[in-house]
Amino acid sequence: MSKKEYCGLFGIYGHPEAARMAYFGLYALQHRGQESAGIVTWDGQGIREQKGMGLVADVFNERHLGRELKGSIAVGHTRYSTTGASLIRNAQPFLVRFGDWQLAIAHNGNLVNTMELRAELEAAGSIFQTTMDSEVFVHLIAKHLNGGTIEEAIQAACKKVQGAYSLIILANDKMIAVRDPHGVRPLCLGRLDDHYVLSSETCAFDLVEAKYLRAVEPGEMLVIDRNGLCSHRISEPKPLKRCIFELVYFARPDSLVFGEEVYCCRKLMGRILANEAPVDADYVMPFPDSGVYAAVGYAQASGLPFEMAMVRNHYVGRTFIQPSQSMRDFSVRVKLNPVHSMIKGKRILIVEDSIVRGTTIRTRIKKLRELGAREIHMRVSCPPIKFPCFYGIDFSSKGELIAANNSVEDIARYIGLDSLHYLSIEGLLESVGADKLDPRYCLACFDGDYVIPPCGEGAKYCLETNALTW
């Protein structure tokens, strides 16, 4: 596995220890990004902030949570960069002051018309401080605040942008959640006693003991203030195109995402894969942790034993989230270690959730060969990834994708496998309760059908070229 994640959002309104609750929420969402983390709070008069590079536990301490981040409203963000470099100036939530308003915005997703909007805004006098597409939202909101309400300004901004976005916005004493009209990225609403809570995934609700209420609907804006909760429809209904990779890989298996239990979906992917591509092997194994649940499903359906022949060092982050190839290669060496007696002379079936570039898996297969594996087969619980993603997954160039220009047989030879089989698109849709006639999920990375047309092959660092030297 060698791809990158995006971001995790968390917000809580009216809680006496809002910053501490946001810290716990981000801790539960750490898997969604390990580059930077930030929390902002409203103390009744102004916004307070703490942001830093690294893991949530490294960015915040007791001084921040107990004394500095005062206030009963908090918004938090944990980030992997899909637009903009991994720098502290690009850490979120992004904070701006405009007239009587103090705004902080946390964004999960990716806009496809960032360059066009940024050029338009700069021509009108806007000065950008970061190379994030998320900052475009802030300038658009500020532009429409003159003479209107904050809700009207946010709605006007959302009408200008194109792409995927789930947002939590702190606007003075209001907390506002917005989800794009296609529902590409998840965002859900919960309640902790008398306090409303927002999160990218329900696993964060479990940690803070909040009750899941419902998903924020695509094209919906939720406004939470001293009067309670109010829902606004900010766009006309559009076809649902939820990111299916949430269920394949990104979300935690103990989360509820898009109304589906992630754990059960992944097991079903494995079961369907076992029916589509059986193999005679001594046992089934995953490369922990990403392929574990599909491997369990495959083992149960096939009757083959399930083994953990590779042991994970839990103090190393997921290789997918590391921001450079050199760091990814280091993680490959450190992250997993084989149980030698389980490898030599064995016919091994590995279940993996996906193959993007193939470099990480190739290194692991080479190690298994060196340890004397007799046969190595691989089954992948999603179809071949052939097309770039422009909506918040960091494989934005077709040249990065091994399946874009290679057959399954060629990929198997490159990686060093005796056989390779991918789950069919029909099988993947069945595992998440959908089918071809009910296209509720975005499959663009498999079939190239982009519901939101991309503006060229946008790249993660597309805004760095003309940026100021900081």
Output the six-digit token pair for 49: 């902030």
Among 285, 319, 313, which Cα is nearest to 299's?
Answer: 285
Cis omega (within 30 of 0) for bond into 93: yes
Q: What is the DSSP letter of 220?
A: E
Q: Which amino acid appears at position 139 of this protein?
A: H
Residue 352 pairs with which residues in a beta bridge?
380
What's the DSSP call for residue 364? H
Judged by DSSP in three states, 283 sits in strand
User: Do 363 and 405 touch, CB atoms closer than 8 A?
Assistant: no
Catalytic-labelled residue, pool 7, 188, 203, 462: 7
Beta-bridge partner residues of 11:
75, 198
- How do the residues of the chain divide into helix, strand and coil, expressed in percent and rounded to 5? 30, 25, 40
Active site residue 265: no
Taking the C-alpha atoms of residue 219 and residue 199, their distance in angstroms, rounded to an integer, is 17
Work out the burial of residue 275: count CB atoms within 10 Å of its CB; fewer than 13 is exposed, 13-18 middle, 19 or more buried.
exposed
- State the pairing for strand pair 419-422/375-380: parallel
First to last CA, the chain: 33
Q: Distances in Å between the alpha carbon of 29 and those of 56, 377, 466?
A: 9, 33, 32
- Within 10 angstroms of residue 98's Cβ, the number of other Cβ atoms is 15
Report DSSP letters for 416-469, one per residue: T-SEEEEPPHHHHHHHTT-BTTB--EE-HHHH---SS--SSS--TTTTTTTPPP
Q: Return the beta strands (E) in 45-179 as ranges.
A: 47-53, 73-79, 94-98, 101-111, 163-171, 174-179
Q: Which of 17, 14, 12, 27 is nearest to 65 (CA)?
A: 17
Integer CA distances (angstroms), 200 to 26, 29, 179, 264, in order: 10, 8, 11, 19
Active site residues: 7
